[in-house]
Structure 1
Amino acid sequence: MTSEGGPTVVRHSELLTPQTADYLAFLDREKMVYLPYLMYFNRPNFRSTAINTDQFGFRMSHGPDGRASVGDHRLDGPVRLLVGGSGVLGYGATSDAATLPSRLWTKHAPSRPWLNFGAPYFNSTQELILFMLYRHLLPPVDEIVLFSGFNNLVMAQLNHLPLHGQGAFFFCNEYFEKMQELRKRYAKPVKGPRWRTGPKSTPEPVSPSQPTPATMIEAAVELTTRHLDSWLVMAGATNARVSFVLQPLASWVRQEPADQEKLLFDEFDRFSEYGTWEERYGLVGSRATGAAYAAALATACAGRGVPFVDMNSRLAAAVTAEDWLFVDRGHFTDDGNEIMAGLLAESLALS
Structure 2
Amino acid sequence: MTSHIATLTPQMLHYTEQLYENGKLRWLPYVMYFHPAHHRSTVANTDRLGFRVSRNGSDQASVAGPWQGDPVNVLVGGSATFGVGATTDAGTVSSHLWSTYATAHAWVNFGGRAHNSAQELINFLLHRHLLPEIRHIVLFSGLNNLSLARLPAQIRGEHGAFYNCSEFNDIMYEVNRPPRPYALSQLLRRERSGPATRNDLPPPPPAAEQVEIAAHLTLRHLGGWRLLADSLGATLSFALQPLATWVRDRPAPTEQLLFAELDELFSFSQAYGDITPPEVGRNYATALRAGCEKLGVPFVELSPLLAETVAPDDWIFVDRAHMTDRGYDAVASLIARQLDLR
TM norm structure 2: 0.92
Q: Matched residues in 1 for 2:153 and 2:179: separation?
A: 25
RMSD of aligned C-alpha atoms? 2.2
Aligned counterpart for 1:298 among listed residues 289, 308, 314: 289
What does residue 12 of structure 1 align with? 4
What does residue 328 of structure 1 align with? 319
3-state SS of 1:298 partner:
helix
Tell me if the contact between 2:149 and 2:156 (Cα under 8 Å) persists in the aligned partners. Answer: no
Whether 2:207 is the aligned partner of 1:213: answer yes
C-alpha distance 63-119 of structure 1, shift in aligned 2 (>3 A)? same
Q: Matched residues in 2 for 1:308 and 1:242: separation?
A: 10
- What is the CA distance between 1:117 and its match in structure 2? 0.3
Whether 2:221 is the aligned partner of 1:227: answer yes
Which residue type is aligned with residue 61 of structure 1? S
C-alpha distance 278-350 of structure 1, shift in aligned 2 (>3 A)? same
Deviates more, 1:285-294 or 1:22-31: 22-31
3-state SS of 1:67 partner:
strand
Higher Rg: 1
Q: Matched residues in 2 for 1:210 and 1:65: separation?
A: 48
Whether 2:340 is the aligned partner of 1:337: answer no
3-state SS of 1:237 partner:
helix
Whether 2:162 is the aligned partner of 1:157: answer no
- What is the CA distance between 1:209 and its match in structure 2? 5.4
Which residue type is aligned with residue 265 of structure 1? F
What does residue 298 of structure 2 align with? 307
**1:61-72 maps to which residues of 2 (within 5 A)?**
61-64=54-57, 66-72=59-65
Aligned counterpart for 1:255 among listed residues 249, 254, 264: 249
The one-character-per-residue Cα deviations of 1:174-220 (angstroms, maximum 9, x if unpaired) are 01101111231357846xx98xxxxx9x9799863531111111110
Give the structure with the larger helix fraction.
2
**1:1-351 maps to which residues of 2 (within 5 A)?**
9-24=1-16, 25-64=18-57, 66-185=59-178, 189=182, 208=202, 210-270=204-264, 272=265, 275-351=266-342
- What is the CA distance between 1:76 and its match in structure 2? 1.7
- What is the CA distance between 1:239 and its match in structure 2? 1.3
- What is the CA distance between 1:161 and its match in structure 2? 2.7
**How many pairs are equivalent?**
333
Q: Matched residues in 2 for 1:344 and 1:314: separation?
A: 10
Q: Matched residues in 1 for 2:96 and 2:7: separation?
A: 24
Gaps of 5+ in 1: 1-8, 195-199
Tell me if the contact between 1:160 and 1:209 (Cα under 8 Å) persists in the aligned partners. Answer: no
Tell me if the contact between 1:55 and 1:72 (Cα under 8 Å) persists in the aligned partners. Answer: no
C-alpha distance 263-305 of structure 1, shift in aligned 2 (>3 A)? same
Q: Matched residues in 1 for 2:326 and 2:251: separation?
A: 15
The one-character-per-residue Cα deviations of 1:77-118 (angstroms, maximum 9, x if unpaired) are 311000000100010111101111000000111011100000
Which residue type is aligned with residue 151 of structure 1? N
- What is the CA distance between 1:347 and its match in structure 2? 0.3
3-state SS of 1:52 partner:
coil
3-state SS of 2:176 partner:
helix
3-state SS of 2:74 partner:
strand
Deviates more, 1:123-132 or 1:14-23: 14-23
- What is the CA distance between 1:75 and its match in structure 2? 4.3
The one-character-per-residue Cα deviations of 1:120-176 (angstroms, maximum 9, x if unpaired) are 100000000000111111111111000001100010111243443110000100011
Gaps of 5+ in 2: none
Which residue type is aligned with residue 232 of structure 1? R
